[in-house]
Amino acid sequence: MPIVRPRLTDYYGVLLSQAQADFAIPFLDEDIPLYLDPFLLWRSPSQQDNSLHTAILNSFNHLGLLEKQSRHADAVQILIALTECDEVGFGHSHTREGRRIGSATAEEILALFRAVPEYDRRGFHHFEEIQFFVDHISRDRISDIACNLLKSFLIDYTIHQCQSHKIPSEKVTIPELYSYKSNKLEAEKGIALPINPETKKPIILVPKRWLRFKPWLDYDEYVADYFPGETNKERNKAKAKPDRPTILTFNRHNYGAVQDYVTAKERTADDCKNDPLFSQIPIASAKKSLEVIKAIPSGAKDENDKKYERELSRLLASAFYPQLDFAKTQSRTESGVLIRDLIFYNNRSHEFLAEIFDKYDCRQIVMELKNVTELHRENINQLNRYMTDQFGKFGIILTRRMPLPRVFRNTVDLWSGQRRCIFILDDFDLEQIVTLYESKQRDPLDLLKKKYVEFLRACPS
C-alpha cells in the first residue's frame, strides 16, 4: 500500500518509532540528510568504535602504500569505488542514488600521500582532512567512504537489527565489499539484508550514535573561523572571501594551518555528540508558538493561512513526538482551494494509535489545517475525499473554533454511513495540548484520544 515518504519499517509494518530504534530508519525513495562522522568513532568511549576507526584509517592509509608500491591504478580503482554507498541512503539525493568521483579527483587525493610529508611518513590520523586539500570532497563523500570501509561491520549490524525487529530480509550479493584481509574489493554472495521493494536493492542500517548533520571536522567552519590571513571582520568588511581553489592551494602548501584546526577540534572532542534525528522545541518555544497562533487572524489575508500552517506544523511535530514521527507537510488542491496537510507515521506505539489502525486502516495520520473563521460542510467533504486507501478512513481537522452543529453533524453521518472518522480540534484544544506538553505528566496524544472518545459518544451505537 503506497504511503507518503515511505520508510523501511512502515512499508513492512514493523512497529518501531525512530526514538525506539538504535539506527536511523531509512526512507525508501530519498536520502536521509545525515552523515556518518568518523570523528564520532575516534572520540567514542567504546573500544569497539575506536577499533573500527583504526580499521578505517588503516584501510585508507593502505591506499598510500599502494602508491609507494607503484600500484597507482589499483589505488585509484578502490578509492573511486569507496566514494558512493547507496545502500545506507545518506545525503540529499531524491533517488537514493549518487555518483562516484572521477579518476582525476581520486588521483588528487592519492597525491596527498606524496605531496604532504606528514601523510607520506605516517598516513592520515583523520582521513576527513582530504576535504581541506581536494575539490569535490565534502561531507557526503567523507560519510560514504567511511560507510564503505565499515560495510562489513554494518552488514552484521543490519542482520542483527533485522532479526531483533523482525524486518524481512532477502539473500543478496554485495559486488564490492572491502576486505580487511586482502585490502581489496570483493564480491560476497548470499547476504541476508532488507530490500527496497521498489528498486530491489539492498539496504544497510547505520547506528544513530555515529550520525551528524555536518561533520566535526568541517570545511565551512575551517574557512569561517580558522583560515589564516585577514580576520573574519576584515573579510566581512570587504564582503568577500578567498575562493575554494585558492584555499585548497594554500592548504596544500601550508599543512600546518589545517593541522592547527584539527588539533583545536580534538581539544574540544568532548563537545562532539551525535545529532538527534528530531529535536523537540523547548517548552518556552511551545508557549510562544501557541501565542503566535492565537494572535494570527483567520483567513488568507497577508498570508495568515501560511503563518498558521507554519507555526502549527512546528508545534504539533514536537508535541506528539516520540509517539508520532512527523512524515512531511503536504499541499493539495480541492476545487481550486489549496489545502495544507500534516502527515504523521502511525507507529501504533499508543493504544489510541493501535485502535485507529485496526478500525480504520490508518497507516498514516492526516491532519488538515484550516485557518478559517467558520468551518463548512465542504471542508469536511474535502478531507473525506482525500481519505483513500493510502491513508485509511481516519483524519483530523485543526481549525480556529468548533463548527456549528449542522457541520459537525456531517462528520457523524460519515461515520454512520461509511465508518469514516473525522474529528475536529480548535484553538482551545491546542491550548490543552501545549499544557500537557509543558507538564510532562501525560502525553499530548491523550488529548487526541479524549476527542476521539467524545466523537464516538456523539455517534449512534
Instruction: Please give the grid coordinates belonging to residue 87.
Output: 545502500
Q: Give yes or no for a contact between 441 and 452, defined as CB atoms under 8 angstroms apart.
A: no
Q: What pLDDT score was predicted for residue 293?
A: 95
Q: Give yes or no for a contact between 386 and 393, defined as CB atoms under 8 angstroms apart.
A: no
Task: Tell me whether strands 394-399 and 364-370 are parallel, antiparallel or unpaired.
Answer: parallel
Q: Give yes or no for a contact between 278 and 323, defined as CB atoms under 8 angstroms apart.
A: no
Q: Check the CA dihedral 31-33-34-35 and report its sign.
A: positive
Q: Give yes or no for a contact between 70 and 114, defined as CB atoms under 8 angstroms apart.
A: no
Measure the CA–CA gap between 139 and 31, rounded to whole angstroms.
14
Say how many C-beta atoms besides its own lie within 10 A of residue 271's C-beta.
9
Instruction: Please give the grid coordinates belonging to residue 312.
Output: 502549527
Q: State the average pLDDT over residues 144-163.
A: 97
- Among the ranges given (142-151, 160-169, 194-203, 273-282), the one the predictor scored with the smallest mean pLDDT: 273-282
pLDDT-above-70 percentage for the chain: 94
Residue 171, pLDDT > 50, answer: yes
| pLDDT band of 231, cuts 50, 70, 90 | very low
User: pLDDT (tens digit, 9 = 90+) per residue, 99-112?
Assistant: 899 999 999 999 99
User: pLDDT (tens digit, 9 = 90+) per residue, 423-438?
Assistant: 999 999 999 999 999 9
List strand residue ranges (DSSP E) for 100-225, in order: 170-179, 184-193, 211-212
Measured at the alpha carbon of residue 218, what is the angle toward residues 216 and 219, in degrees to the nearest 5? 170
Helix (H, G, I), strand (E, B) or coil at 168: coil
Residue located via cell numbers 451505537? 461
- Among the ranges given (55-59, 123-127, 417-421), the one the predictor scored with the smallest mean pLDDT: 417-421
Q: Which CATH number fits domain 283-458: 3.40.640.10, 3.90.1150.10, 3.50.50.60, 3.40.91.50?
A: 3.40.91.50
Half-sphere exposure of 284 (CA within 13 A, CB side): 0
Measure the CA–CA gap between 9 and 149, rounded to whole angstroms.
26
Domain with CATH 3.40.91.50 in the chain: 283-458
Q: State the average pLDDT over residues 325-331.
A: 81
Mean pLDDT of the chain: 91
Measure the CA–CA gap between 381 and 334, rounded to whole angstroms.
10
Q: What pLDDT score was predicted for residue 390?
A: 74
Nearest partner of 265 among 222, 210, 213, judged by Cα: 222
Report if pTM > 0.75: yes
Q: Is 218 left (phi over 0), alpha (psi -120 to 50) or beta?
A: beta
Q: What pLDDT score was predicted for residue 290?
A: 94
Query: What does DSSP assign to residue 95?
Result: S
